[in-house]
Structure 1
Amino acid sequence: MQKTNRIVKRPVHAVESVENALRILVLLQERDALRIVDAARELGVAPSTAHRLLATLVYRGFAVQDPQKHYAAGPNLHLDAARNPARRLVAAVRPQLEALAAATGETVNLVERIGASARFRHSVEGPQLVRIGDRTGTVLPAGTSSAGLAALSVLSDAAVAQLYRRRATRSEGNELDAGGLAHLLSELAQVRARNYAINIGRTEPELAAIGAPVGPLANGKSFALSLSAPISRAGDLQGARVVSLLLAACAAIRGTLDTHPE
């Protein structure tokens, strides 16, 4: 008996917002970069609607945003961990991230420094009722976040200065003038002295975070861990016990990533 192709029709009661989100997922898989205006045009919706959809996909790890405000497919779009280095990375260190979140009670973030940007690769939310949410997919200038500063701190001052003179850094909008670079180098000296970086309300008014470097790694990649909490618990984050747990987790993850390089 000859098979016939089954024609799948649009459901009569299709949920438009779900359909639009799924169409964006297809666009992300088809293109290297997707702008909000392009997504809005393809879907026939307002740019504000496309922005809300993309922001939700970033939050859930199905999209990532670069410093130029372009969107690309996120780690959760590639479900086969064996074929996806980002998912293999997260799978390798997730137990240590979860253990740190449980021990400290705060949200843990694995962050990769790419040039002068800090990309949040994975978050594990802490068990506290009032806590900082998942930041997976977020991209920030490295010099503004605790994890970004921590990752920069493993570089020499000369390497940091060279990084911020690169054309790619200028195109990202992360270039620093002489005064800004001097301030950054001074802050990095403090990070190296205490082994961790501090962010008190810098990236968000009600957020506090501390970050420590994971590395340098043998494969040349640059990672850091951060713990984030409501600003009311900023003092707890800098307590000796929490800092010790953070530094121990960084050392353990460094060993894991050097043993299983991507």
Structure 2
Amino acid sequence: MANQEKRSRGRPRADSGVAGQGSVQSLDRAVTLLKLVSEGSGLSLTEVSDAAGLAPSTAYRMLTTLQQHDMVEFDDINQLWFVGVETFRMGATFLRRRKLAERGRTVIQTLMQETGETANLAVADEDAVVFVSQVETHEAIRAFFRPGTRSPFHASGIGKAILAYRAPEQTERLIERCGLEGFTEKTLTTAEALRADLAAIRKRGFAIDDEERNPGMRCVAAAVFNEFGEPVGGVSISGPSVRVTDARAEGYGPQVRAAGQEITQAMGGRWPSGGET
């Protein structure tokens, strides 16, 4: 009998237990519920609905909608709702971006001054890199990536620098899931071409985006690593190809690689064993 009373707080008595029934789209109330669950150490349906001022059936539909996206979890044994793994992943991404942007800001300022080209920081997201900080060159013609701009891994200097140090099976899964879209005539659109480029990047320690995302623009990039030696972001310089010539791009490589190593160290990260130093 005690177990039945406990169970009624986790799900309405009339509910069949099938997640996803009656999902609602009220974003504001859903976020409120998510905050309530994240602040507790396991809440019953009654506690959630009372705190949110919602009917238990409405609160339950909202919770199961969040559950479908792994943002909350339900403990069947204790009949309690907890924050989910997807919420943690999003929060960890935010912290990683903030840490990279804070620790890397001084480094990219110096990199821009030394090279005379725009310097960028980006973080790895699920299917793309996201630019989080930039120091623009003083040149009239310059590259510009608004913070929050996303770029596919295979068509980005930073993206390729990250892929070069990921496990090969991760890259293969990314190719299978996202494909290799062509943006210019120089984009690497075959798995063979991308694999060859990633091998070259590992050998020299930096990547070159040779007009592969935007015609007339070159980028030189290096990865940034966390404490486990995993690539979590990157640093780059970018500019028009008439100024960032092939020869200059190769010359900038060691500087950009050194910047990646400096940011890695500042973040408490570890350059991977066997990587160029």
The alpha carbon displacement at 1:29 in A equals 9.5
- Secondary structure of residue in 2 paired with 1:258: coil
- Equivalent residue for 2:213, pick from 170, 195, 203: 203
Does residue 248 (structure 1) correspond to residue 258 (structure 2)? The answer is yes
Gap change, CA 1:31 and 1:253, over 3 Å in 2: farther
Asked whether the equivalents of residues 153 and 159 of structure 2 are also in contact (C-alpha less than 8 Å), the reply is yes
Asked whether the equivalents of residues 124 and 134 of structure 1 are also in contact (C-alpha less than 8 Å), the reply is no
Partner of 1:181: 191
| TM-score (norm: length of structure 1) | 0.58
> Separation in 1 of the partners of 2:127 and 2:152?
6
- Secondary structure of residue in 2 paired with 1:232: coil
Asked whether the equivalents of residues 102 and 127 of structure 1 are also in contact (C-alpha less than 8 Å), the reply is no
Does residue 122 (structure 1) correspond to residue 126 (structure 2)? The answer is no
**In the TM superposition, what whole-angstrom CA distance separates every residue of 1:151-189 from its partner, at most 9, and x where no partner exists?**
110113233223434xxxx3xxx2359x83233212211
- Equivalent residue for 2:116, pick from 97, 101, 105: 105
> Separation in 2 of the partners of 1:190 and 1:101?
25
> Separation in 1 of the partners of 2:231 and 2:250?
29
Rg larger in 1 or in 2? 2
> Separation in 2 of the partners of 1:133 and 1:207?
11
- Equivalent residue for 1:91, pick from 102, 125, 136: 102
Gap change, CA 1:97 and 1:191, over 3 Å in 2: same
The alpha carbon displacement at 1:130 in A equals 2.4
> Separation in 1 of the partners of 2:214 and 2:133?
19
> Separation in 1 of the partners of 2:30 and 2:235?
30
> Separation in 2 of the partners of 1:202 and 1:253?
26
The AA in structure 2 aligned to 1:203 is R
> Separation in 2 of the partners of 1:108 and 1:29?
37
> Separation in 2 of the partners of 1:159 and 1:252?
26
Partner of 1:231: 241
> Separation in 1 of the partners of 2:261 and 2:157?
17
Partner of 1:157: 168
Partner of 1:18: none
**In the TM superposition, what whole-angstrom CA distance separates every residue of 1:192-232 from its partner, at most 9, and x where no partner exists?**
12222111222111211111111254385611111101110
The AA in structure 2 aligned to 1:91 is E
Percent identity over the alignment? 25
Two-structure CA RMSD over aligned residues (Å): 3.0
The AA in structure 1 aligned to 2:120 is N
- Secondary structure of residue in 2 paired with 1:136: coil
Asked whether the equivalents of residues 207 and 228 of structure 1 are also in contact (C-alpha less than 8 Å), the reply is yes
The AA in structure 2 aligned to 1:148 is G
Partner of 2:13: none
Residue segments in structure 2 that go unaligned for 5+ positions in a row: 1-26, 32-93, 182-188, 270-277
Number of residue pairs matched by the alignment: 173
> Separation in 1 of the partners of 2:173 and 2:217?
30
Residue segments in structure 1 that go unaligned for 5+ positions in a row: 1-27, 33-83
> Separation in 1 of the partners of 2:216 and 2:28?
35
Gap change, CA 1:31 and 1:152, over 3 Å in 2: farther
> Separation in 2 of the partners of 1:133 and 1:220?
27
